[in-house]
Structure formats: structure tokens, C-alpha cells
Amino acid sequence: MLSKKTIYLAQPRGFCAGVERAILIVEEALKKYGAPIYVRHEIIHNAYVVKDFESRGVVFINQLDKVPKGAILIFSAHGVSKAVRYEADERQFQVFDATCPLVAKVHAEVVSLKERGFQIIMIGHRGHPEVEGTMGQVDSSIHLIEHVPDVDQLTFDKDELLAYVTQTTLSVDETQEITAALIKKYPQIHAPKRQDICYATQNRQDAVKAMIPHVDIVIVVGSQNSSNSKRLQELASSLQVPAFLVDDPSQIKSEWFKSVKNIGVTAGASAPESLTSEIIDAINSRYRGSVVPMPGIEETISFSLPKGLLKAA
């Protein structure tokens, strides 16, 4: 007989406003222009979404020389460097920019700081497309750090103009530790008016914290290359609850749930609700589980589409 379990569903979870906007940009471009539509980098970090778009004629590329002259090109939600923008202009692509407005805010801040003579420290993960795009807004004067020990390696003068910015999808707690170390070493460092952790990242982490006392295990719906999804998994694990990151129902393993009564389910900001539903169904196919939605923040933020796609939408 299947053992009954309770599935607690985090709130909020899944798509944020920036991701919804990026996906809608691709959808509307497909409607208006038809396939193929080219997207520089994965539009969002979710294998489920990327596979669906590929089946409908969207081509994901990393190098612009793979795109025919004059084609429709979309920049992903993570943003791109100025060099990529210049190259797109030179190749005469029709470009729609799906950069998350919160990432674009950090881009603008980096440019402003450089113009005012600051050396800029970026807190983020090396190789992540958002970090590459943000650092690529300026030709120099920006320096990446990933961990607290990296602060010790910085050699700026005490009286140098310094400022920091952050990748939007980092762990709130991790970022606070790094910024505290920066401020201790450089008390005069310029901080953003508001920490650049996006609202959705913070809300989803807070929802996991609220769910933890009620569950024995956490399933995070999201892909391995999704920074904010991995932070949710790491957060649950740091709170002494086993956590697993999945982006396909076939990845669910029965041994995870032995001696487990209460299961927590959340989803990263790039994971669609339809995939979360499939994951829950996969769990319920093994157990007679009841689903209990957790109380939490209802997000109402939305971002507008680029002007060239508004009419189609």
C-alpha cells in the first residue's frame, strides 16, 4: 500500500516578472515573424522551456556569426555586454531585448559608477551570463569576487573611490557576508541604494525558510544552470533539510522519500508552473499525497514588452 504523504507548496514560486516578460517576447516574436527566431544564450535557464521553444523553431546561439544577416535576434533575460550589442548592430539584426529590467538597472549603475571615477567590485559567479553581461558594460575598472576570502585578495588603496554591485540571483545571506567583509576592509565603499538581489529571489528564499519547519525534504523545480534555483537547494540544505534540484519528472527517485512524511516543493524563478505540476504528479503517482499550499506573498509586479512587440501582444 502506498504511504500517505503531505506535499507543502511554497508561495511564491516559479516564474518572476522578468522571466515572464522574456518568454512573452519570444512568443510574440514567433507570432509576428515566424520561425526561425534566434536567441542569444538560453532565453532563461530552464531546459524544459528551452526544449519547447526549440521544437517551435527558436534557435539558441552563443556566437552571433551563427545568425543570418538581418534575422530576428533576441537578447536573453540575463543581459549582454556592450560588445554584443555593437556586433548585433553591425550585422543588421532586428533586435528585441529581453534583458530583465532589474538586471538592466545594475547595468546602468555600473556605467554611471565608471563615469564618476569609481573602481567597481562585482559580487557574482564567474562565467554566469548575467555577470558577463554586467561586467561587459565597461571596458575596465570592474573586478569580480565570488566568496568572502576573495575580499582579502583585493589591493585597493584605502582612499580609492570604490563601489560594489551584485548579481541579482545570489543567495541573500551569502551576499550579506561578502558585503560585510567589503565594508569592514573598505569602510568608504559605495553601496547600491538598495541591494541588487531581485525581489523574486528574496521572496522565494523567504518562502523556503517559512516552509522548512513543516517538511522533511525539499524538492526544488529548476535546472542545474539556474543560479536562483541552485540557491534555493543550497538554502534548504543549509537549514538541515535534504534538498534535490530536478527539472524533469523522471529524475524523481523513490529512495528520497523513505522515512519522509512531509514533502516541500518550490520552484526557481525560471521554472514554469506546468513543470511543477508534473513533478507533483510524479510524486503523487508513488504516494497518496495531499497538496497544501503555504501562505505567502502574492507578487503583482509586471514589466512591459519592447515597443516593436506591443502591438502583436
Q: Which residues are catalytic?
A: 130
d(CA 203, CA 209) in angstroms, rounded, equals 10
Q: Any idea what DSSP says for residue 105? A: H
d(CA 276, CA 256) in angstroms, rounded, equals 17
Q: Which of 165, 167, 143 is nearest to 154 (CA)?
A: 143
Q: Which residues of 244-267 are buried (b: 16+ CB within 10 A; e: fewer)?
A: ebbbebeebeeeebeeeebbbbbb
Grid cell listed for 81: 555586454
H/E element, 196: none
- Strands (E) in 51-189, as ranges, are 58-61, 72-75, 94-97, 119-123, 142-145, 162-166
From edge to edge, which strands make up the β-sheet containing 142-145? 142-145, 119-123, 162-166
- Check: CB of residue 302 under 8 Å from CB of residue 215: no
- Check: CB of residue 124 under 8 Å from CB of residue 231: no
